[in-house]
Structure 1
Amino acid sequence: MPHALIVDDDRDSAEMMAVLVAAENFTVATAFSLLEARRQITLQRPDIVLLDLQLPDGSGIELFDDPELLRHSQVVLITGYASLETSIQAFRLGAADYLVKPLNVKHLKNILATVTQPAMLQTEVETLNEELAREGHFGNLWGRSACMQEIYQQIARVAVTSVTVLITGESGTGKEVVARSVHDLSRRRTRPFLAINCGAISPNLMESEIFGHEKGSFTGADRQHQGFFERANGGTLFLDEVTEMPLELQVKLLRVLETGTFMRVGSTQVQDTDVRVIAATNRSPKLAIEAGKLREDLYYRLNVFPIAVPPLRERSDDLPILAEHFLAEINKKEGVVKRFSPETLKRLAEYAWPGNVRELRNFVHRAYVMAPGEIVGDDWLPAGEPSSEAAPPLAAPEPSDAPPSITIPIGTSMAEAEFNLIMATLEHFNHHKERTAAALGVSLKTLYNRLKEYSGER
């Protein structure tokens, strides 16, 4: 049976928590000071410590001086108020989560249900690092380049906490795989991981999809609907292309992040939720704020722990590993083994891959299909271009030699400037939308959404 230690100078609060924790099949000890807490830890090493920072003989922070505590015990801070500063402080100390007084019983139960010794999680990270050295992958992420190894370290560091993560990177770099890796290494791994592309849902339906709705709340709402925050309770919610979320919903998302509560559309009843949010965008967040696409306060609430995923052209050493991995996958699926010629692997680095890992994967699948024998040659490789420059995707029509430029007068609104840039780029690539999206650094879905907006406005 797991053991819990409650450290709180408020005896009534400590005893109430002890009853709640014991009901979840834990043995429980209480301490009302730092001195008593250290004595209890010596008597029996706890699996979880519920720690109030304000104690009569010092700050609960002092317990973090014991490295063995963080190695063997999951530490959850108890605070009297919720704030961004609180969550950052908890993370920096090595805490896994924090609870706000008065306690949310559901949140407490979710934390207790996912208690795992930090040493066990560290053992998993060590196993992944061994696989990286031996096979070239860290879980589902492939590559040994220095920039990717930095990503792996960030994932291992943040996964054991519950802080919010913001992943940035160009379209096709694997942001959702990074998000999933954080979830799979966390204590929430047995709970749902749900992903929603904010650019793929109609703005009119997005609030219902995220927060749910009551029966009869709008035309067509013939039954109650649970949104993503309800379905992901206890787990992780991945919000891809978060800058595509309407501003009025960004306000409501900010409230969920700050309070852990929300309301279904058409309801007046407040719902509690315990969800770890991981957001992602292929835009520059600062430019999105300037363009009025992202609320600045939401950005700072999401950007507690940033992870920047590099484009494929900045990790060209990983190209052979990735290509071989994708080929092995399709070999297994199709049952016919093919392999790359040395010249093909060499030529992979001669192309910039503007569509990043997604484009490389699609190329490998196409080359496999088109290869007549067991050798996948270089016949279907994109035309060789310097990898430091943007290059067009596979099999798209060639544009004119020199890309045109556009002039935007001072005083032009951000929305108008964006429209002019998108339309000029689309014209340059002969209305080839995949190439246009790659050149602009956005997803194809985002481009379609923009063009749909323009058709309705102009």
Structure 2
Amino acid sequence: MPHLLITDDEPSIRELLAEIAAGEGYTVAVAADIRQARIQIERQKPDMILLDMILPDGDGIEFWKGLGLVDTQVVFITGHSSIDSAIDALRCGAVDYLRKPVSLRRVRALLGELKSLLYERPEPGSNDCFVKMVGKSRAMQLLCAHIEKVAPTRATVLLVGESGTGKELAAEAIHLASPRHDKPFMPVNCGAISPNLIESELFGHEKGSFTGADRQHKGYFERAQGGTLFLDEITEMSMELQVRLLRVLETGCFMRVGTNAEIPSDVRVIAATNCNPEQAVTDGTLREDLYYRLCVFPLELPPLRDREDDVVLLADHFLQELNEEGHTHKSFAPDAMKAIQEYSWPGNIRELRNYIYRSYILADDEIKGNFTSFDLQSHSAGRGNDISLPVGVPLADANRQLILATLKQCGGVKKLAAERLGISLKTLYNRLEEYGAAADNY
């Protein structure tokens, strides 16, 4: 049986938590302060500690840092919650932190997840969670190993990686390898939903809550109940909505737009961004407290240029999918495969997939490496891929030069240029309209 140590100076809280833990199949030890906690740990090493941040004889976080219990999970409890205390708790490796009065539902969920992680066998079919993640490089093996570690837990995950590196596939793999694999997996692109609608899309709304709300609407949090919600482009979310998301993560409850009734939420959140999250915090596009709540277990997805020979495996994989779908037998000519290997693929997997698709359509039997200006530039080992900008150039001018140079490199293919730039096709068209005659050749 898993062993739990409850350390809190309030007897009523110790008794209540001990009763819940015993009902979940734990052996339980209790301590009112740090001194008693040390004695209990010497008697039996706990699998999990529920630890008050402020104890009569010291600071709970500092006590935890000094223990060095590698295989023990800690959840902090506090009656004086603040942004700083939450960040401190998560920084030192806490699985979660609970605010008093403690949510008994969340305690049961945490205990259940840990017990599942320690003692239950992996779910049938969980070995198939990586079926969509093609690659054998060292970087991919490390990523998959980390996914296997974090998937069975309740930890929120922040996926960081360039556009096109497969963040949604990684999020789905975490879901499939978790105990939630038979529940919904719902991806949400926060940058693709109108700022006026995203709150309703996430949390739902009641009939009549705003103009056009002619019926009750269940949001993603409600529809993903028991499963996983993947929030892509998290930095595109407004500050006000980030506050609401943080509250859901802290309390496990949300409210539909137009009502004050709280709805319990059992949803695992995985977030993603294609920018540096710490820089986003500095720039004011990501709340610091939300960052540390999401970044319990950060995962960085490697760009395709750092994945050794995976580009060949991926190219073959995409071509075979198209062959099966079209009942064809097309293949790569040697010069095409050489060009694919030599190109740096700044748009990563998405760019490679689009290139293979386009090449497949244009090719008769064999995919050559020399049928568009884009291909010729791709084969030039990086020549012509750089632009030089003087220090102090206005951002508008820099953006203009970058967009036009990227469009030229893509042979005038606007969709590909938009994906490589990390902007929507609509935004690209708007920019080209602004540039007028300078963009007429594209």
| Shift of residue 196, structure 1, vs aligned partner | 0.6
Are the equivalent residues in 2 in contact too, given 1:194–1:238 (CA < 8 A)?
yes
- Could you tell me whether the CA contact under 8 Å between 1:313 and 1:387 is conserved in 2? no
Counterparts of residues 117-156 of structure 1 (less than 5 Å): 117-118=116-117, 140-152=132-144, 154-156=146-148
Q: Percent identity?
A: 42
Counterpart in 2 of 1:61? 64
What's the secondary structure of 2:98's corresponding residue? strand
TM-score in terms of structure 1 length: 0.70
Q: Does 1:20 align with 2:15?
A: no
Residues 152, 177 of structure 2: 8 Å contact kept: yes
Aligned to 1:240: 232
- How far the C-alpha of 1:178 sits from its partner, in A, is 2.3
Q: Structure 2 matches for 1:198-347, cutoff 5 A?
A: 198-285=190-277, 293-294=285-286, 298-299=290-291, 302-303=294-295, 305-331=297-323, 333=325, 339-347=331-339
Q: 1:89 to 1:327 in 2, by over 3 A?
A: farther
Which amino acid in structure 1 is aligned with residue 415 of structure 2? Answer: E
Contact 1:352 1:390 (C-alpha < 8 Å) held by counterparts: no
Per-residue CA shift, 1:29-64, capped at 9, x if unaligned? 34334367448858xx86x66455677899673896
Preserved CA contact (<8 Å) 1:319 1:348? yes
> Which residue among 334, 337, 344 is the counterpart of 1:352?
344
In structure 2, relative to structure 1, the CA distance for the partners of 1:452 and 1:289 (3 Å cut) is farther
Q: 2:437 maps to which residue?
A: none
Cα-to-partner distance string for 1:88-137 (whole Å, 9 max, x where unaligned): 6666666543433321123223334434454679989xx97xx9xxxxx9
d(CA) in 1 for partners of 2:54, 2:308: 51
Structure 1 distance, partners of 2:284, 2:95, is 34
> In the alignment, is the contact (CA less than 8 A) between 1:261 and 1:273 conserved in 2?
yes
Once residues 404 and 418 of structure 1 are traced to their aligned partners in structure 2, the CA distance between those partners, rounded to angstroms, is 10
Whole-Å Cα distance in 1 between the matches of residues 215 and 138 of structure 2? 51
TM-score (norm 2): 0.72
Which amino acid is the alignment partner of residue 172 of structure 1? G
* CA distances 1:196-249 after superposition (whole Å, capped 9, x unpaired): 111221222111001211111012212222222333345432221223323442
1:78-97 correspondence to structure 2 within 5 Å: 78-82=77-81, 96-97=95-96
2-side partners of 1:366 and 1:122: how far apart?
44
Secondary structure class of the residue paired with 1:12: helix
- In structure 1, the residue corresponding to 2:258 is in which secondary structure? coil
RMSD in angstroms over aligned alpha carbons? Answer: 4.7
Change (3 A) 1:217 1:250: same
Q: Select 2:37's aligned residue among 34, 42, 53.
A: 34
Distance 1:113 1:449, change over 3 A: farther
Partner of 2:438: none
Q: Secondary structure at the match of 1:203?
A: coil
Task: Please tell me whether the aligned partners of residues 159 and 272 of structure 2 are also in contact (alpha carbons under 8 angstroms).
Answer: yes
SS of residue paired to 2:257:
coil
Structure 2 counterpart of 1:385, from 379, 393, 397: 379
Give the residue type in structure 2 aligned to 1:109. Answer: R
1:448 is the counterpart of 2:436 = no
* Residues 113, 153 of structure 2: 8 Å contact kept: no
1:253/1:99 CA distance change after superposition, 3 Å: closer
Work out the number of aligned pairs and report it: 420
Q: Deviations over 1:136-179 (max 9, x none)?
A: x9654333444444544554555455444433333212121222
Task: Please point out which of 426, 434, 437 is paired with 2:415.
Answer: 434
Pick aligned residue for 1:180 from 145, 163, 172: 172
Structure 1 pair 427/379, CA: closer, same or farther in 2 (3 Å)? closer
Match of 1:397 in 2: none
Q: Which whole-Å CA distance do the structure 2 matches of 1:3 and 1:287 have between them?
A: 40
Report the alpha carbon displacement of residue 314 of structure 1 after superposing the two structures with TM: 3.6
Equivalent residues in 2 for 1:93-104, closer than 5 Å: 96-104=95-103
Instruction: For 1:389 and 1:232, locate their aligned partners in 2 and report how far apart those are by CA, in whole Å.
Output: 47
Q: Any idea what SS the aligned residue of 2:208 has?
A: coil
Contact 1:142 1:321 in 2 (8 A): yes
2:15 partner letter: E
CA shift, 1:327, in A, is 3.5
TM superposition shift of 1:348: 1.2
Residue ranges of structure 1 left out of the alignment (5+ in a row): 132-136, 392-401
